[in-house]
Structures are given as C-alpha cells and as structure tokens.
Amino acid sequence: MNVLIVYAHPERRSLNGALNDFAVERLRANGHTVQVSDLYAMEWKATLDARDVRERETHAPFHPSLDSKHAFENGLQSRDIEIEQDKLRWADALILQFPMWWFSMPAIMKGWIERVYAYGFGYGNGEHSDTHWGDRYGEGLMQGKRAMIITTTGGWETHYAPRGINGPIDDLLFHIQHGMLFYPGFDVLAPVVVYRTSRMDEARMRSLRETLGARLDSLFSDEPIRYRKQNAGDYAIPALTLRDEVAEGESGFGAHIA
C-alpha cells in the first residue's frame, strides 16, 4: 500500500526525526511504499494567500475559498499545492506527524492543510439537498483512505487525562481528527501520542518503538474511530444537529462517535 507521511519538525536530530525514520523503515519493511513530505526541509509556504493562484487578476479582491475553487477547477493552483494533492491521490494512508505546539499542529502543517485542501479537493464537493449536505464527514475525495496522527508533547499523560488540566487528548485532537481528517473522508485511527518528551531514555525509546511499530503494522487492519457520517441519517439536514433519538441527552465531541 502507499503511505504518505506529512512531517513537521524543524530539526531532524530530534525525537520526532528519530520517530520519522523509524516509521519509514518499519512501513517499508512491511512492504509499503512510503513518501515523506518533510515540510521544514521543503521550506513549505505556510501562509495561504493570493500567490497560491497563478495568472490572477491582481486588482480583484482575493477571496480564500472562491479563488481556491477557481484555481483548482482551472489548473491554476500553485505548483507546490498540486504536488501535494497528487501525493494524497496516490496515498492509501496519510500519517500526520508533528510535535504538539500550543495544543495543535505547528503553523507550517496548518498551512499545508489550508493550502492543499483546496475548494473542490478538501471541501466544497457534492450536492446539497434535503438528505445530503455536501460530501463531507465520512464522504469526500479521501473516502476509502486511512489517516493517523503521531504526535509528541512535553506534558504528562495525566495532564491530558479526562480530568487533566489541558483537557482530554481526544478532545484536543478533535479539531484535527474530526475537522481535518474525517471531514474530507478519511477513516481516522486512534492517535499515537508520546508524552513527557524531555524525559526520554533508552528504555522508554524501546517501549515507544514497540508501541509505534505495532500500530504501523496494523495501519490497514485497525478499526477506525466510529465518527458518525453526516449523510447517513444521524443528523437533521440542514441544521446538522444530531437527531433527538441519536446519543440522546449527550452533547460535545463525544456524541459524534457511534
């Protein structure tokens, strides 16, 4: 199978760099073909702006989504965006690997999402009717592909526990896992999270390689998170709220998992 790893860390001689090398080797040893988009090494342009559209009428106001639609439909996207879109078309699985900075992905990776997920590619697809509100949340161009996060944090596991001060890790990652991965159609696997990175020693590294290795071995067989599909009956359309009889009395992120 084809695996794309989008990787964001400014220093290859780091824990993240070591985990990236390990993941590539392990996936290849398992017979997969691997491409890495090393965003820092590529000097990825993080900022979405009018320069992302080729042959643009420069006096017209720039509209992030409409300009993106125009560029995507007419083959006028910046070349670096097209290359990444081709990698996503090619991939059977996407891995986002990053250090958690301020409870989200680094800016350079956020900019990869913003620019590569063009209107017509990452969003804006499908009909809007009484029973279908666009191809998203379980449908879309990434349908049939898998996605997984590998992330590291300096904080302790208890700080990210259900009653931990940072908030539960699954809730913190929801805007990525549900909002950026399930949205365009990926089946999302549980994340691999490495805590307390400043206290890494050889014993922990060994155990981490074992855990990560096992997760990579089952990348194409693990059961994805059971996020509810938007157009499969659980949501009222167009309000897109859960129907009364679904997850009755529940609210918040957890209610969107069946």
Contact footprint for a second copy (CB under 8 A) = 10-11, 13-14, 40, 44, 46-50, 61-65, 99, 101-104, 106-108, 110-111, 113-114, 117, 137, 154, 156, 158-159, 161-168, 171-172, 174-175, 178-180, 183, 230, 235, 238-242, 247, 250-256
Residue 231 Cβ vs a second copy, minimum distance, rounded to whole Å: 10
Residue 247 Cβ vs a second copy, minimum distance, rounded to whole Å: 8
Q: Say if residues 183 and 123 touch (Cβ distance below 8 Å).
A: yes
Residue 21 Cβ vs a second copy, minimum distance, rounded to whole Å: 15
Tokens representing 50? Answer: 């009018």
Please say which residue, 26 or 178, places its beta carbon nearer to a second copy: 178
Query: What gap in Å lies between CA 59 and CA 176, rounded to an integer?
Result: 34
**Cβ-based burial of 95 (10 A; exposed 0-12, middle 13-18, buried ≥19):** buried
In angstroms and rounded to an integer, the radius of gyration of the C-alpha atoms of the chain is 19
> Using CA atoms in the order 28, 111, 190, 239, what is the torsion angle rounded to 10 degrees?
-140
Residue 153 Cβ vs a second copy, minimum distance, rounded to whole Å: 12
What is each CA distance from 175 to 27, 32, 40, 80, 195, in whole angstroms?
27, 29, 23, 25, 20
Query: What gap in Å lies between CA 25 and CA 99, rounded to an integer?
Result: 20
Residue 85 Cβ vs a second copy, minimum distance, rounded to whole Å: 16
Please say which residue, 28 or 243, places its beta carbon nearer to a second copy: 243
Please say which residue, 143 or 158, places its beta carbon nearer to a second copy: 158
Please say which residue, 146 or 178, places its beta carbon nearer to a second copy: 178
Please say which residue, 12 or 32, places its beta carbon nearer to a second copy: 12
